Amino acid sequence: MSFQIYLTSPSDGIVLPNPELGDARRLDTQVLNRETRGGEYKSFKDSDWPVKEIHVYEWPLLDNTERDNLEAFFVANAGEAVHIIDHNSDEWDGVFLTDVLDIRVSKDDCTYATSLEFLGVKA
């Protein structure tokens, strides 16, 4: 399975190797927290509100072509809504939270490493 990122159709996107195992996911459940005039703490969550997930994807071993493709896609589409088909075949719609793509180089084997934060909902 591969990791795919695209805008409106697969021809508008890129295919990357699967991210490193153990990618992090955080849930954003959108809860309103308020303190009443009497000092009582109240929380409110509507069951109709979507649960958003923040994913952190890490690629420790990208080659030159994969690095160039990711960098070009990221620069050309910064701030755009994207569709991801991840390494588990799950589909997500959302945006990248990463504002600057930090690509690190490994001197030993001429590979590149980077990570992305993505906020999305399951499509």
Q: Count CB atoms within 10 A of the CB of residue 112.
A: 19
Q: Phi/psi of residue 10, each to 5°?
A: -55, -25
SS3 category, 22: coil
- Dist. CA 89–CA 44, nearest whole Å: 33
Q: Where are the domains of the chain?
A: 3-30+51-122
Residue 119 has a CB neighbour count (10 Å cut-off) of: 15
Query: What's the mean pLDDT in 15-41?
Result: 76
Q: What is the pLDDT of residue 65?
A: 92
Q: What is the pLDDT of residues 46-86, one digit of tens each?
A: 777 777 778 888 888 899 999 999 999 988 888 889 999 98
CB-side neighbour CA atoms (13 Å) of 30: 10
Identify the pLDDT of residue 66.
92
Is the pLDDT assigned to residue 9 strictly greater than 70? no
pLDDT at 104 over 80: yes
pLDDT-derived band at 110, boundaries 50, 70, 90: confident
pTM of the entire predicted model: 0.70
Q: The dihedral of CA 18, 16, 83, 51: what is its sign?
A: positive
Cβ pair 70, 61 in contact under 8 A:
no
Q: Which residue has the higher pLDDT, 30 or 43?
A: 43
